[in-house]
Chain A
């Protein structure tokens, strides 16, 4: 049973927590402790807001082991509002409705299960931004 690898990354998976470079201000996801822009230490935690847009995508029909029950599903490169590009599964959307530029928001969902007696692994996915009555009213006003 693999437990520790999932436990170590719980903050990035559950909170979309990365890092910010205190030298140049670059936001990093996943956290990597050294800024790829200025090569200075970047170990200050930074929680991303979870908003972004689809940069590119592909639909998976032959899912790898552990993900079979979710297929077909769409994997996307999501450009986060703060800058980084994140690879994640899209959810609550039919593959035919995905398009480049689609506004999406982060949700926490089941990524996979390690068998019936193993761990349930949760993490970030992205879904189309929820339509809100308040936003429609503001637009009308």
Chain B
């Protein structure tokens, strides 16, 4: 089941982005109630009035380019994975590519698979570079997630993401040992065309969806690579709330310490297509050469992509070429629910 390209591929650059604003879960609880049994996160990130998936992808991608140290016109693909596209019809990828200076000789496209749209693009980019069709490809997983006012998702639906530039292993700061996907038709969460907010299956999003796909993808990949949890310095899982990844990680045999470096959900909420990828950027910020990192995404609908990365010596020199993930997480400006309603344009004025 494992997928490996014929040429070995790795991450040559990465970058994160999180907006400045934070909505504490207590603020949502103050308006809509809930929280008696605790909140799913401490607070979530909220995009400013002039931010959207496109602007966030651009900043994350610029950071990835700084770390990679390559020219933008060497990129042959700019792919954005998201479920909150600026336009229903017009690629986000073209705007990001233009802002980077990667146009015109590049592919540009948007990828969709709920919260795993970003890792879907990552896996395809590994194939593109691994087949030697291109030397460098950029992918981003970014979202400005939607949560219906008063819905459980409103506590967690955050904003942010990360971008990665894939290239040959010999230039990489972390190379991919192998990846694997686990996909079924599971309708746990979806948004119909023209609907503003998604619908979800409540508890159905847990056992048959998140846990089944994450655990099976991770287990199968480790088995085929001959690895065990103790071989990994860090395990990064998709983070819809703080409980799910902690429980799935424990079930897989990882300790709380192995999960800590990539766990951001309590501070920024669920960045959807950006969730596991920004967890990976936080893990790379703290990684040492030789560390192994397991990345497992989850996207509703449903599926998981699992990747095993090995960090190289190049991480030490490239890490500080761009802001660290926590530089953005620390840049927090709390807002109240009223400001959140204004920033997310939840009041229809006409």
Contacts and interface: CB of A to CB of B under 8 A. Distances in A.
Interface of A: 10-11, 14-15, 17, 47, 69-70, 89, 91-92, 107-111, 120, 122, 125, 130-134
Task: Please classify the interface of chain A as helix (H, G, I), strand (E, B), loop, or mixed, using the class held by over half of its residues.
Answer: mixed
B324 interface: yes
A15 B72 CA distance: 11
Contacts of A109: 48, 50-51, 55
B55 A14 contact: no
Contacts of B58: 14, 108
10 contacts: A10-B98, A15-B98, A17-B101, A107-B59, A108-B58, A110-B52, A110-B55, A120-B87, A122-B55, A132-B327
Interface in B301-350: 319-320, 323-324, 326-328, 330-331, 345
A98 B128 CA distance: 46
B248 interface: no
Contacts of B101: 15, 17, 47
Which 7 residue pairs are nearest across A and B when measured between Cβ atoms? A109-B50, A134-B320, A14-B99, A110-B50, A108-B58, A92-B20, A132-B327
Given A92-B20, A107-B59, A110-B51, A120 B86 contact: yes
A60 to B, nearest CB: 14
Contact of A108 (B49, B55, B319): B55
B324 A125 contact: no
Interface in B97-134: 98-99, 101
Which of B50, B54, B326, B330 has the most chain A CB within a 10 Å cutoff?
B50
Contacts of B331: 130-131
B54 A130 contact: no
Given A15-B101, A108-B55, A131 B95 contact: no
Contact of A130 (B319, B320, B323): B323
Q: How large is the interface on B (under 10, 10 to 19, 20 to 34, 35 or more residues)?
A: 20 to 34
A133 B324 contact: yes
Contacts of B326: 133
Contacts of B319: 134
Contacts of A91: 48, 50
A16 to B, nearest CB: 10
Interface of B: 20, 48-52, 54-55, 58-59, 86-87, 95, 98-99, 101, 319-320, 323-324, 326-328, 330-331, 345
B327 A108 contact: no
Given A69-B49, A70-B49, A108-B59, 4 more contacts: A47-B101, A110-B52, A134-B319, A134-B324
Nearest to A14: B99
Nearest to B321: A134
B160 to A, nearest CB: 14
A92 B46 CA distance: 12
B327 A14 contact: no
A132 B323 contact: yes
A14 B50 contact: no
A111 B95 CA distance: 14
Nearest to A69: B49
A75 to B, nearest CB: 13
Contacts of B86: 120
Contacts of B52: 110, 120
A130 B327 contact: yes
Which of A15, A70, A132 has the most chain B CB within a 10 Å cutoff?
A132
B48 A14 contact: no
B317 to A, nearest CB: 12
A10 B98 CA distance: 8
A107 B51 CA distance: 10
A17 B100 CA distance: 11
Contacts of A10: 98
B49 A15 contact: no
A91 B50 CA distance: 8
Given A131-B327, A132-B323, A15 B51 contact: no
B55 to A, nearest CB: 5
A130 B324 CA distance: 10
A130 B98 contact: no
A108 B323 CA distance: 16
Contacts of A131: 327, 330-331
A107 B101 CA distance: 14
A122 B86 CA distance: 11
Given A14-B95, A15-B101, A92-B20, A107 B327 contact: no
